A and B are shown apart, each in its own frame.
Chain A
Amino acid sequence: MAVIAIERMGLLSVVCVSLFFSSTFAVDRGNFKTCDQSAFCKRQRALKPGQSPYRALLETLELSDSRLTLQLINDNNKVHLLLELYRLQGNMTRVKINELKPLRPRFEVPDVLIAEPPTEPLSVLSKDDNGVVLSLGAKNQRLIVSARPFRLDIMQGPEVLLSLNSRGLLAFEHLRLHKDTQAQPDGAEVKESVDGDQQQDEGEKDEDGESDKEEDGLWEETFKSHTDTKPNGPTSISLDFSLPGVEHVYGIPEHADDLKLKTTDGGDPYRLYNLDVFQYELYNPMALYGSIPVMLAHNTQRTMGIFWLNAAETWVDISSNTAGKTVFGKMLDFVQGSSEKPQTDVRWISESGIIDVFIMLGPKPSDVFSQYASLTGTQSFPPLASLGYHQCRWNYNDQEDVKSVDQGFDQHDIPYDFIWLDIEHADGKRYFTWDPHKFPQPKEMLQGLMDKRRKMVAIVDPHIRVDSGYKIHNEITSKDFYVKNKDGRNYEGWCWPGNSGYPDFTKPEMRAWWSSMFAYDQYEGSMENLFTWNDMNEPSVFNGPEVTMHKDALHGKWEHRDIHNIYGLYVQMATAEGQTQRSGGVERPFVLTRAFFAGSQRFGAVWTGDNAAEWGHLKISIPMCLSLGLVGVSFCGADVGGFFKNPSTELLVRWYQTGAYQPFFRAHAHLDTTRREPWLFGPENTALIREVIRQRYALLPYWYQLLYQAHKTGMPVMRPLWVDYPKDTATFTIDDEFLIGSDLLVHPVTEEGSRGVTAYLPGAGEVWYDVHTFQKHNGAQNLYIPVTLSSIPVFQRGGSIIPRKDRVRRSSACMENDPYTLYVALSPKKFAEGELYIDDGHSLNYDTKKEFIHRSLTFANNALTSSNLCPDCNFLTSSWIEKVLILGASKPSKVLLKMDGKETPVDFEFDTSMSVLTLRKPGMNAGADWTLLLQ
């Protein structure tokens, strides 16, 4: 939560009160910087495309087996840069640019890459005075280094896939001495701004360039009442990328915007700077809680990715030569044979650090996902229960309240797995403690939940109350683990508890200590069914600049400026590690985070922060989670119902229906909202919500298998349609419907009073089955679907097999041993395939001991066969196959089960109207080899 209850925060400074009072139900934009108010962004953006002053010094080229280095020189100021090029395994290229001899080391982001990426040999194909041509291995792919001006082009055959610095926007503000102490190094001309570095045309490059220095915010910058001291002066970097033939780019979350990124001409660039934005606005490029500097570029031929590994404040400009054109204009170009090829140009600007870019060359969407996964890891494999329904509220008041909500679910026969406690549960917002009046017996409460096979999440935020009576604070102080301010004293800021310190999570020792705090003997009142929620980890500092930490605060030798966007990742990393450790490395952790960075997918789930009970926020939850999924974070969700304000009953029902088909499914509400447990809106609405939560639980085997797949391969769970239909341009901008895996297509109803939706069913020659009625529809059409309040348009792809557990119980754990029903949806060619994944649902034994079942299910030639995808795996299940539904089938004369060399007949029923064949109780164990023959 970002909002503060003033009444309960008597401590809060006047600054904060005015900060939050000034906003009604819209973000107060004045609290957050525009590019113009961010000195480096303004400087960099003032630089326009043109001739680059950078030149490659080919004589400095050095080529080892897998690494090429080369110096670049800026002809304006003679500063030398070092370019490093790597060819990485899996069709990727890494480009690093740093100063050759920086005054001090520049920050390079650690802990994001899971390992030093394995390289492949680079070879020089040709070299002359103009440049070098390198081979990128197979498929006729080459990397061309042009010397004057410096640029890089990645080619395949005659086609340019991507160019760097083709617009001359490479700009590297080298480290320098402040004017007071400045010496002229090596007689080189020292220029202070990007403009000075590059733009000749002004013709007014006075020798010291000091005239506008302070105004430019080079050595100091003030925003509102906050001054950033910038002891290192200007350090920003920028580079442009051109993508010929590309009209669609995606990614760079987190923004409350459409899936397809827009051009930023005439507005602000997309901003990546983790911020606690109070009541965020929709459809704009403002920064939000998390940042993943990864962009995907897609056309019918190829999907590529750009991963800009930099944790400082970053802005991304996008322009396109077709953006302004109407369809008619494009047609005219085509008819007239216009030579102009569509092209998207992208420019990245960061405040500090180095240029470290990974170019993922695809070519298929799935290739890009696995390429990115090979760099930063995959989605953590969550405990099965965390895919169930989560009931949260700020706040469940006390143990009694928790108990009665828990009973409410049973009384109304609604399943749920987790109940959540927000900040009020802790004693005076001292995390790792319990309010002695409201939660005097946490273990008793947790045991009560455990008896129902349910779980709890309690919040642990990274701001620590400065209080000499608080163990956590005292230990952090004595170990000197707090972030420091610019003067070297402990940094303090205001957050929920009042005056707070911020542990320096960039320190491995600090993280190790934090992890140890989750041990059962340290975290009093905790049990194995207690999990964690990290909120406010941007970090949120109520009285800081832009509600976050001062950039000149210090993390050891690095400034907060350098590491800002990765702080939240570290918090979740240390928390998840603590949960793993408390079980001796046996159990999977579950940690939800609000702030995130590239790599955060390895540590748990992400939600889209403090949204509002408005239809627009329901709608935006789809592109927001789709964007996250494209860049690795599959376990995404939005607060069901909307955090701020009270949803109408219709909105709440629609939100449940949407949330039930998104990966992380949690209802949450602000302290000031009225209660909204699912049964408080009359029996009819209770029934609607119950129904959709039950649909979620029935599909848990499918969700679980998809999370396993995401964990193994990096494939997103919730996907835009174009991921599976990359050649169908009609899918490229769709973000009001989505796929779950490849096999379920969901078009949630997100309009008030809707009587129908139009869903696009992709795939020429394919069919889709309505999962509720089993009615068959052809692919490659826009299908109008009339809806009522009970409708949730969901379709299963013809050609797929989805396992379900149709016996929905009160929690996922209760369903552990229940039998499966297989939903076999036949393609027009009477074919279907799917998978079934089973393990214990909570431990790491699937990984450490290969204790799981992974089976391939195939329907072909009138036979459904289960075969083992992991023969050396070892897991026993008591689940069995109770039913098989074959959609689009014809009536057989006989059905036989072939198993263990025996054939036994199986009862069946055939529904002629919908062509559904139901096999009654074949009864085989879910882990066995078997074949069902239709004759």
Chain B
Amino acid sequence: MTCVHLLLTLVFAVSLGTPVEIQRPRGVPLTSIQFYVENKPFTCLDGSRTISFDRVNDDYCDCKDGSDEPGTAACPNGSFHCTNAGYRPMFIPSSRINDGICDCCDTTDEYNSGAKCENTCKELGRKEREVLQKMAEITKEGFLLKQHLIEEAKKGQQEKQSKVTDMQGNKKQLDEKVEVLRTVKETAEQPEKEAKERHLKAWEEQKAAIRLEKDKAKMAEAFLELDDNADGFVSVSELQSHAELDADADGTLTETEAQGLMGGAEQVDTSTFESVWPNIKDKYHSEVSREEADMSCLVSSEVPFGQKVFFLEKTVVKLSAQKARDDFEEAEKALREMDDQIRNIEKELSFDFGPDAEFTYLYSQCYELTTGEYIYRLCPFNRVSQKPKYGGSETNLGTWGSWSGPENNKYLLMKYDHGTGCWQGPNRSTTVKLTCGKETVVTSTSEPSRCEYLIEFTTPAVCQEPANTDLSPHDHEEL
């Protein structure tokens, strides 16, 4: 039977050279010691019930909140406090008490498991202080660097701002110049334009004439076809043989319908047929094979003819317009270039380079890291890519998306997305994790999930102002 009875730990500590002995139930932090008074009934910290003190740490869970068993694993939701003198105190879940694994550096969590734990608090404390010291140094220097970065960024920003202002002034002049040249050009082009219009009109007229001629020919042909008895007249009955002319689409062309088409006449001769033809020409099916396409063929084959005339005249006019056109285009190009420049600067100015523009210096820079297989390339605010070390094409791991750190500091993470798609998977994307460092370098790359990359990146730009505290050990917190 393994019943663990109330165990009191004795903690000796040295403070100001005076030995002090403090007794408290196992696993209870100093801050709660007043609730655990020996030989007095214990009230669960949630107030749910009161039990006799011999049930505290008796290895049976009586309180719903686990507070009666701070030093045993009996409660599923309990926690155990280790002092870890020399290092930092901590709480661990009760389930880690006597589980054979050393969790507290002062070994107090494994008092009955047979686990051979060594007290490593001093060593851990020393290491932690070293790390903190180093971190503090880095932070300090990094923060200084950051100030320079901020200054430079501000300077740069102002320069760019004023450059943009200058350029915008220049642009106005250029705009005007372009307008003047446009007028010159258009004036010079007027004869050319007129010639063009003239020829276009002639061309249209020519086309209409051809079309009319064709229609006439077709009408004559139709008349001959319809005039079955060749008496020089098309009669109602002759027209009726063309069922496709049926107006109500019931399949038959009645006498009345045919008469209607013929304008009420019983029969028509060639000349009166001219007035009937428009009524029927759209539906009329020739008895011989018809070549509707002919018309368009003919028309299109005529195009070169008209054009040739036009080109001849154009060449003459063009010579005079050409210079005006060149001048205008040159001015317009200059304007476009200036627009581009302004846009680029404005784009740069529009980036969120941090609260103090401290990330500005990363713009248009690239940083590389070579791993076993690949060369990774991070161009902040632009893109991330990966290239096999020994040849092969580059893969886009994502283009600049946004800052995506936690709410309290979104500038700790950068997100690059919409990279090259993965087979049966998502588009590649990269998260860049920024940590404080004196240098701006990519320190590691990984692919925690398929096609989702993680890059660790140090930069002074995220270094926080060092807290003005000295780095004394934590011994004072727990005695």
Residues of A within 8 A of B (CB): 3, 5-7, 397, 400-401, 413, 437, 451-453, 671-675, 694, 806-810, 813-815, 817-819, 878, 880, 882-883, 920-921, 923-925
Expressed in whole angstroms, the minimum distance between the Cβ of B464 and any Cβ of chain A is: 24
- Residues of A contacting B113 with CB < 8 Å? 817
Can you list 18 pairs linking A and B with CB atoms under 8 Å apart? A3-B424, A5-B423, A5-B424, A397-B448, A672-B451, A674-B426, A674-B449, A674-B450, A807-B76, A808-B76, A809-B99, A817-B2, A880-B1, A880-B3, A882-B74, A883-B60, A923-B1, A924-B1
| Bound-complex Cα distance A435 to B81 (A) | 41
A672 proximity list for chain B (CB < 8 A): 422-425, 450-451
Contact A401 B425 (CB under 8 A): no
Q: Is the beta-carbon distance between A925 and B1 smaller than 8 angstroms?
A: yes
A810-B449 contact given A453-B101, A672-B423, CB 8 Å threshold: no
A226 to chain B, nearest CB (A): 26
- Residues A397 and B2 in contact, CB atoms below 8 Å apart: no
Given known contacts A806-B76, A810-B95, A880-B2, A451 and B372 CB-to-CB distance under 8 angstroms: no
Cβ-closest chain A residue relative to B114: A817
Q: How far is the CB of B417 from chain A (nearest CB, A)?
A: 13
- Please name the 4 residue pairs, one residue from A and one from B, whose CB atoms are nearest each other, closest first: A814-B99, A675-B449, A672-B425, A921-B60
B322 within 8 A of A: no
List A contacts of B211 (CB < 8 A): none
The CA of A883 and the CA of B58, in the complex, are separated in Å by: 13
Residues of chain A with a CB closer than 8 A to B447's CB: 397
Contact B95–A7 (Cβ < 8 Å): no
A401–B448 touching, CB < 8 Å: yes
B395 — nearest CB in chain A belongs to which residue? A7
B225 within 8 A of A: no
Identify B73's interface contact among A7, A671, A807, A883, CB under 8 A.
A807
- Least distance between B241 CB and chain A CB atoms (Å): 59
Residues of A with C-beta under 8 A to B449: 673-675
Most chain A CB within 10 A, of B424, B425, B450, is at B424
Q: Interface digits, B92-112 against A, CB 8 Å rule (1 contact, 0 not)?
A: 010110011100000000000
Docked Cα-Cα span, A809 to B448, in Å, equals 27
- Residues in B whose Cβ lies below 8 Å from that of A453: 99-101
CB distance from B279 to the nearest CB of A (A): 59
Given contacts A453-B100, A808-B95, contact A923 B424 (CB under 8 A): no
Q: Tell me which residues from 1 to 33 in chain B have a Cβ below 8 Å from any Cβ of chain A.
A: 1-3
Cα A673 to Cα B422 with chains together (Å): 11
Please report the C-alpha to C-alpha distance between residue A740 and residue B449 in the assembled complex, in whole angstroms.
36
Contact of A807 among B95, B100, B422 (CB under 8 A): B95
The answer to whether the Cβ of B452 comes within 8 Å of any Cβ in the partner chain is yes
Contact of B422 among A7, A675, A809 (CB under 8 A): A7
User: B162 in the interface, Cβ–Cβ < 8 Å?
Assistant: no
Q: A413-B93, A675-B448, A814-B100 are in contact. Are A809 and B423 (CB under 8 A)?
A: no
Nearest opposing residue in chain A for B60, CB measure: A921
Q: Which secondary structure characterizes the binding site on chain A?
A: loop
A263 vs B423: C-alpha distance when bound (angstroms)? 40
Interface of B is mostly: loop
Q: Mark B438-471, 1 if CB is under 8 A from A, else 0.
A: 0000000011111110000000000000000000
Contact A813 B100, CB 8 Å, known A5-B423, A808-B95? yes
Give B401-447 interface residues, CB cut-off 8 Å to A: 422-426, 446-447
A558 CA to B3 CA in the complex, in Å? Answer: 64
| A750 CB, min distance to chain B CBs, angstroms | 26
Which of B59, B422, B425: most chain A Cβ within 10 A?
B425
Report the separation of the CA atoms of residues A764 and B422 in the bound assembly, to the nearest whole angstrom: 57
Contact A673 B450, CB 8 Å, known A6-B423, A7-B422: yes
Chain B residues within an 8 Å CB radius of A400: 446
Partner of A809, one of B2, B95, B424, B451: B95
* Cβ-defined partner of A818 (8 Å) among B73, B96, B448: B73
Which listed residue (B58, B74, B424, B452) contacts A674, Cβ 8 A?
B452
**Which B residues are CB-close (under 8 A) to A818?**
73
Q: Which A residues are CB-close (under 8 A) to B3?
A: 880, 921, 923
Q: Return the chain A residue nearest B448 by Cβ.
A: A675
A675 to B453 Cα, complex, angstroms: 12
Chain B residue with the shortest CB-CB distance to A881? B1
Residues of chain A within 8 A (CB-CB) of B100 are 453, 813-814
Task: Tell me how far the C-beta of B387 lies from the nearest C-beta in chain A, rounded to whole angstroms.
Answer: 15
Interface residues of B in 250-296 (CB under 8 A from A): none
Q: How far is it, in angstroms, between the C-alpha of A453 and the C-alpha of B372 when the chains are bound? A: 32
Partner of A920, one of B1, B60, B101, B426: B60
Q: Name the distance in Å between A162's Cβ and chain B's nearest Cβ.
A: 49
A residues near B452, Cβ cutoff 8 Å: 674-675
Least CB distance, B373 to chain A, in whole angstroms: 8
Which residue of the partner chain, among A413, A808, A814, A883, contacts B101 with CB atoms under 8 Å?
A: A814
| CA gap between A808 and B78 in the complex, in Å | 12
Could you say which of B76, B448, B450 contacts A671, with CB atoms under 8 Å apart?
Answer: B450
CB distance from B74 to the nearest CB of A (A): 7
Would you give the shortest CB distance from B394 to chain A, in whole angstroms? 15
> B residues within 8 A CB of A883?
60
Determine whether the beta carbon of A809 is less than 8 Å from that of B450: no
Contact partners of A920 in chain B: CB under 8 A? 60
Nearest to A413 among chain B residues (CB) is: B93
